[in-house]
Structure 1
Amino acid sequence: MGLFKMPSLGADMEAGTLVEWMIAPGDVVAKGDTVAVVETQKGAIEIETFEAGTVGKLLVEVGETVPVGTPLAEIGDVSAPEAAPAPAPESAVALEPTQEVTAAPEAPPPTPKPTAAPTPASAGRHRASPAARKLAAETGVDLSGIKGTGPGGAVTSCDLEGAPKATPREAARASGIDFTEMRKAIGRAMARSKREIPHYYLKHQIDLQAASAWLEDYNGSQEPAGRLLMGALLVKAVALALKNFPDMNGFYEDDAFTPSVAIHCGVAVAVRGGGLIAPAVHDTDSLSLSDLMAAMRDLVARVRAGGLKGSELADPTITITSLGDRGVDEVYGVIHPPQVAIVGFGTVEERPLVVDGSLVAAPTVISTLAADHRVGDGRRGALFLRDIETLLQKPEAL
């Protein structure tokens, strides 16, 4: 049997609370199946298994808080089940290896250890379906006052019909996120980053005339739900540039850098009540702009509904952050270890720009880069930012 362990969902996570099992002993699971829900400072996270097999014992009970790396369950190879032990002779007795066999009475049958069974809810969390959580976040409904009619008393979307809306403070409390603890966890991670990672910083102003004109033309032919935001173009340009700069995409661990084959851009999303979460858009470089826009909208909704998956927090290979919607020109991020770079974008606005020898007002954005000096240098960083700009000059090819 292999061990399914409490995963690390970021450098700021030291422990997690198991709030729900989605499996039971004897179940067969496939790689990527959701097997548990864990509460962290970032809220309730659905945890997937990375191995296929048959579930053995559940080793941690609902409500327990355990450190990262603690075995949570046994999952065996479904193709090669463990052979049952041969029956012992009637006179044999189970003994420690160093104990001699003399004589012993027949041992009573062992009392089976109870497995962790789902409970109605652990402190600070209200059981609800992912759809209900998403709807509650969108409408501001407080889940704490809703009586669920789903399995185990879970709240369903139907239970939210006619429910009173919550105040922002109530909605934050109902989401299960402890914002005080979140700030502490973020502080620890950022302090570690600044202490251990020799950052270097660069900025570059990007000409968005071509991107803005193409975006306006594209959106003019789309229904509102299919329209793109400039943010999708910026994220896609970063992802494609990483194919040429693999030294910006990966992890620095155990005094060595390991580039990532996959490009999973972590997109920073503000959490209602305070704090940021940067879940991964998986395989960002291979998504079309419309699929990327849909994925980003979905992530924002699920961040605020408390419906993220563990892999979305553990998998980012680089982080992209933007405070452009807050009206700031520049943002300088702090690298999220073990990543080695973070790209920032400010507000898209018209600024003076020299084009073919003439001074014009043109839409631009200031891009910034914070990168790990142990992996590369400012020259590589400068070329990386210039490559992002080059890609944005041909938005139709993104």
Structure 2
Amino acid sequence: MGVFTMPSLGSDMESGRLVEWLVAPGDRVNRGDVIAVVETQKGAIEIESFDAGIVHELTAPMNEDLPVGTPLAVILAEGEEPPAGPTAPTATAEPAPETEPVAEPERPAPAVPVAASPPAQPDAIRPASPAARKRAGELGVDLTGVSGTGPGGAIVLADVERAAPTAPRPAPNPVEEMRKAIAAAMTRAKRTIPHYYLSETLDVDPAMRFLEERNADKPPTERVLLGALFVRATVLAAAKVKEMNGHYTEESGFAPSKEVNPGVAIALRGGGLVAPALADAVNMTLDETMSGMRDLVSRARAGRLRASEMTRGTITISSLGETGAEAMTGVIFPPQVALVGLGAPHLRPWIVDGAIVPRHVVTLTLSADHRVSDGRRAARFISEFETALKTPEAL
């Protein structure tokens, strides 16, 4: 029997809000199937099952903040019999005392009997659509007092609008909440990770000429951007310099990763930042890398990322794109041990074969963890990155 629990989607996550089930009791699920949607400070994340089998029971309430590790569902393996008793404790059950009861002397009954008030019962959890829950939060509507007109009495958006008070509370600011989460995570990272930084300015004219020729007769949906070359160069360098690719924890130290799963920093519309990862990117072609990046950007901005994409990253790339500042220095995303920061290309005088010529250059800044590597290993990583970028047709 597998107990599906609230997963941790980052070092800064303490709890999540279950907002949607995509399965019901009796459904068959495979490992990796998306079965629920959890809302965190970084947006709505699709949660995948770690077990295969039959959904026996959904044990967690909807639309409540639940700590990481809270049981959400029970999944039975193929052919496994359901447990005889309840699989999750009820909220009102009290454990029986383990000590023997002590006899008390008889006491006279009170002259006037006192009626004990029954304990208050928690309000029933009413089914509601995700849109209704979101709007209720914006308007300050208590769903326990709303009558639902949807299927099975579920509360829908129109029910919430009808129940809204005349002077609604200000809507919560998701961007502000995300900023708080990012600030907390980065503060912790800077406090606990001994960062060091190496920078190098690289000639990217060969890469830009390659892209110009390659994209000349391609529709926009099939064009490759410079960022995809940066991801490929990072992946190839990380595969050769393993001290930059993996996870560090206080309990077990550094564990290099067998795969290179580059986290791609994505700026969300309206503000905020997430860094979902591409899986096993070493084995991707350049076109597959570009396609994977487009997919991540699209789903990140639609709030449909998966839990595994938020947790499997082994190194992160953060690029300012094709316009902006010359350089950036990033903070490592724990438990990772390195982050590649890339400024925008700028036209600068450059020496080529003894002559000064105009070239497009990019400044790379590598942030690395001194508990795992040192300057020589970081310098080798940058050298491998530069070598890969000099032959973009081989990426």
Which among 184, 196, 201 is matched to residue 200 of structure 1? 196
Matched-pair contact (CA < 8 Å) for 1:197–1:372: yes
Matched-pair contact (CA < 8 Å) for 2:127–2:155: no
Q: Offset at 1:121?
A: 2.6
- Correspondence 1:306-325 to 2 at 5 A: 306-325=303-322
**d(CA) in 2 for partners of 1:383, 1:266:** 21
- Correspondence 1:104-119 to 2 at 5 A: 119=128
Partner SS, residue 280 of structure 1: coil
1:142 alignment partner in structure 2:
none
Matched-pair contact (CA < 8 Å) for 2:56–2:82: no
Matched-pair contact (CA < 8 Å) for 1:277–1:303: yes
1:65 alignment partner in structure 2:
65
Q: Which moved more, 1:37-46 or 1:118-127?
A: 118-127
1:345 alignment partner in structure 2:
342
**d(CA) in 1 for partners of 2:367, 2:197:** 5
Q: Which moved more, 1:18-27 or 1:321-330?
A: 321-330
The question of 1:263 aligning with 2:260 is answered: yes
- CA offsets, 1:278-307, max 9 Å, x none? 111222222111121121112112111111
Which among 129, 142, 147 is matched to residue 120 of structure 1? 129
In structure 1, give the amino acid aligned to 2:26: G
Task: Call closer, same or farther: CA 1:97–1:12 in 2, change over 3 Å.
Answer: closer
- CA offsets, 1:360-384, max 9 Å, x none? 1111111111010000001100110
2:146 alignment partner in structure 1:
none
Task: Call closer, same or farther: CA 1:116–1:263 in 2, change over 3 Å.
Answer: farther
RMSD over equivalenced CA pairs, Å: 2.9
1:231 alignment partner in structure 2:
227
Which stretches in structure 1 are left out of the alignment for 5+ residues? 86-95, 101-114, 128-147, 156-172
- Correspondence 1:86-165 to 2 at 5 A: 119-121=128-130, 125=134
In structure 2, give the amino acid aligned to 1:319: T
Which stretches in structure 2 are left out of the alignment for 5+ residues? 86-95, 101-123, 137-149, 158-170
TM-score of the superposed pair, with normalisation by structure 2: 0.78
1:22 alignment partner in structure 2:
22
Partner SS, residue 57 of structure 2: strand
2:366 alignment partner in structure 1:
369
In structure 1, give the amino acid aligned to 2:260: I
In structure 2, give the amino acid aligned to 1:15: S
- CA offsets, 1:75-116, max 9 Å, x none? 12225445869xxxxxxxxxx89899xxxxxxxxxxxxxx98
1:240 alignment partner in structure 2:
236
The question of 1:388 aligning with 2:371 is answered: no
Partner SS, residue 125 of structure 1: helix
2:178 alignment partner in structure 1:
182
Which among 283, 287, 292 is matched to residue 289 of structure 2? 292
**d(CA) in 2 for partners of 1:396, 1:293:** 14
In structure 2, give the amino acid aligned to 1:320: I
In structure 1, give the amino acid aligned to 2:21: W
Task: Call closer, same or farther: CA 1:80–1:226 in 2, change over 3 Å.
Answer: same
The question of 1:212 aligning with 2:221 is answered: no
Residues matched between the structures, number: 335
The question of 1:379 aligning with 2:376 is answered: yes
Q: Which moved more, 1:331-340 or 1:202-211?
A: 202-211
Task: Call closer, same or farther: CA 1:217–1:285 in 2, change over 3 Å.
Answer: same
**d(CA) in 2 for partners of 1:153, 1:288:** 47
The question of 1:4 aligning with 2:10 is answered: no
Partner SS, residue 281 of structure 1: coil
The question of 1:37 aligning with 2:37 is answered: yes
**d(CA) in 2 for partners of 1:361, 1:199:** 34
